[in-house]
Amino acid sequence: MTLLEVNDLHVRYDAGEKQVHAVDGVEFGVDYGETYGLVGESGCGKTTLAKSLMHLLDSNGYVESGEIWFDATLPQWENDRGEPRQEIIDGDRYPVREDGMTDLAKLDDQQIRDLRWRNIALIPQSAMNALNPVYKVGDQIVEAILRHEPETTREAADARARDLLERVGIEPERADDYAHQFSGGMKQRAVIAMSMACNPDLLIADEPTTALDVIIQDRILEELEELQEEFGVSILVVSHDISVMAEICDKLAVMYGGKIMESGPKEAVLDETANPYTLGLKNSFPTVAEADQDLISIPGTPPTLLDPSDGCRFANRCPFVVDECHTAHPPMYDVERAEAGRRSESDEVRAHRSACYRVDELDEMRADAGKEETWERVTQSH
């Protein structure tokens, strides 16, 4: 069952007389109980995409167009059974569908605040910056609970905060400490506990293991998986680290230059890779199975996105580029059909899809992508 459905989303940042096309026509879906990953280089738009879902963009950022359908409605729009009232569904003023999905992109600031924490929560990239240095850690969790559950007593909220901290491996009495008294790993766990304060349906984890050593990284990922199993929460993970995605995700979307280049079930994207950019990313990450393999970097740098070209965003760094790549960005093709010799566009966001005009030549691209001389051609062409 679908929890989140993003359709043709465009997010912009004002930059003087120009605009940064940070997210450009992105679409994907997250089901209940699923872990979905957004992976790509720094600057590809994945964090902007995640923040746009909760209206947390910087002041010069905004959703230009597109839809963000989420399976929740505001409490004031619901009947006694927790369903949206028919007049809300039928009314032109409210972005609610017949199936009860609400378009988050159309909500105002006050309305989205009513859904944050209660239905959708964020684990931000910097745990230290997310914690108020002058409030006790436990009090910050209590504050979120009382804001969205005013019927809950202070004593009950405090007990829940301590229980949440214990669930993520922090002794309950540490709720009375301040953020500066926590280690980096403990801060990250505390922010995870805070995000689960109101038992949301969707948890957005933005680089949840960045700047942590590998042992703590593994523990944090284990705790996220345990919370998902216990509470049934869906998780949207944002990371540049393919190894993190391989461990925790069910489905995966690879972003580059504000667009999704490849998406689908994790095993399909990582084991049956169907896009030159994803192949390049895999070359740059070490694996235990091939520990002696030399890493191959992708030559060049990502596009500026201030004035993106009409062609494929990866064309200037791609060793498999053809003339067609410079004229228009490729649509998302169904990989399974292409491998069967029937290249065709796909609207099914859960299928294995790739934005590449040569998706029907995968055997050749996969074989050549692992050779360093293949990527050297890009440097020589410039």
Per-position pLDDT tens, the chain of length 382: 899 999 999 999 999 888 999 999 999 999 999 999 999 988 899 999 999 999 999 999 999 999 999 999 988 899 988 889 999 999 888 899 999 999 999 999 999 999 999 999 999 887 777 899 999 999 999 999 999 999 999 999 999 999 999 998 899 999 999 999 999 889 988 999 999 999 999 999 998 887 677 888 888 888 888 888 888 999 999 998 888 888 899 999 999 999 999 999 999 999 999 999 999 999 887 665 555 567 888 998 888 899 888 999 999 999 999 999 999 999 999 999 998 888 999 989 999 999 999 999 999 999 999 999 999 887 666 5
**Which phi and psi angles does 310 have, rounded to 5°?**
-75, -20
**Which phi and psi angles does 86 have, rounded to 5°?**
-60, -35
Residue 102 lies in a domain: no
Task: Residue 307: give the domain boundaries.
Answer: 292-381
- Cα-to-chain-centroid distance, residue 273: 20
- Domain count along the chain: 2
Residue 354 lies in a domain: yes
Residue 3 lies in a domain: no
End residue of a domain, out of 198, 232, 253: 198
Placement of tokens 């684990």 in the chain:
123
Token pair in block for residue 239? 């990371």
Quick check: 236 and 33 in contact, CB under 8 A?
Answer: no
- Cα-to-chain-centroid distance, residue 126: 16
Residue 164 lies in a domain: yes
How far is CA 85 from each of CA 97, 101, 107, rounded to the nearest angstrom? 11, 12, 17
Residue 56 lies in a domain: no
End residue of a domain, out of 164, 183, 198: 198
Rg (CA), the chain: 22
Is the pTM above the cut of 0.85?
A: yes
End residue of a domain, out of 156, 176, 198: 198
Residue 233 lies in a domain: no
Strands 333-334 and 353-354: antiparallel
Quick check: 332 and 262 in contact, CB under 8 A?
Answer: no
Q: In what order do the strands lie in the sheet with 234-239?
A: 120-123, 202-206, 234-239, 35-39, 251-256, 259-265, 353-354, 333-334
Residue 147 lies in a domain: yes
373: number of CA atoms within 13 Å, CB side? 2
Distance of alpha carbon 144 from alpha carbon 126, whole angstroms: 19
Token pair in block for residue 301? 């740098």
